Chains A and B, each alone.
Chain A
């Protein structure tokens, strides 16, 4: 079966523009996570969805960042008025919540965002 997919794989944008990143989780996975990985850094947790709801949005770095998930499947991460410090790899992961393997996240390949 298909794994987690993300699009685009690479995105170069000008400072001040808005960008939208997409994540398609594994079919049937109810939990979805977004992370950011800056050069030489670990993964920074951004947000978690259980179904379509995000109980904790405190990981989003600023109010320029927003995320939504519809139909319990696809999720989009939107960054408004991009800044150079937003340049990073954005990773999405999903897991099958509510089972004994709830903790096992499956990661997508990531979207490399470069803000010029």
Chain B
């Protein structure tokens, strides 16, 4: 079946460090891939997306590239800030967005 696996947290980094959160997926069709973020006390919100292989999604300094050959969609940021502290969820959707599968979330703590 379709599923998403992402690295477990929490991840603790110092400000300006490089961030990678790994995400791999299993899908029967041609999924679209997403990263959602949940800041403390707020609801989930879309961070970035990629709808086909080799697409790169980017937003707020975060990037992720849809790699079909490795079935991965790793989230990266070159220099994290304290304000990036949040829980990050990798997700995929098949069947014209009728169904979404989310990973278990990775909590990121950025220390000043």
Q: A103 contacts which of B34, B101, B102 (Cβ < 8 Å)?
A: B34
Evaluate contact between A91 and B44: CB separation under 8 angstroms.
yes
Indicate if the CB atoms of B99 and A56 lie closer than 8 Å. Answer: yes
Q: Is A8 an interface residue (CB 8 A)?
A: no
Chain A CB within 8 A of B46 CB: yes
Q: Chain A, interface size: which category? A: 20 to 34
Bound CA–CA A48/B91 (angstroms) = 16
Residues B102 and A43 in contact, CB atoms below 8 Å apart:
yes
| With known contacts A107-B45, A109-B43, A48–B98 Cβ distance under 8 A | yes
State whether A42 touches B43 (Cβ < 8 A).
no
B25-57 CB contact bits vs A (8 Å, 1 = yes)?
000000010101000000111100101000000
In the complex, A104 Cα to B48 Cα: how many Å?
9
Shortest CB distance B57–A (Å):
11
Q: Decide if A83 is an interface residue (CB 8 Å cutoff).
A: no
B97 contacts A95, C-beta separation under 8 Å:
yes
Q: Give the B-binding residues of A (Cβ under 8 A).
A: 3-4, 31, 33, 35, 40-45, 48, 50, 55-56, 59, 91, 93, 95, 97, 102-110
Task: Name 16 interchain pairs, CB-CB below 8 A, sorted by A.
Answer: A35-B102, A40-B104, A41-B104, A42-B4, A42-B89, A42-B104, A43-B89, A44-B102, A45-B100, A93-B44, A103-B34, A103-B46, A103-B93, A105-B44, A105-B100, A106-B45
Q: Which chain B residues have a beta carbon within 8 Å of chain A's beta carbons?
A: 4, 32, 34, 36, 43-46, 49, 51, 89, 91, 93, 96-105
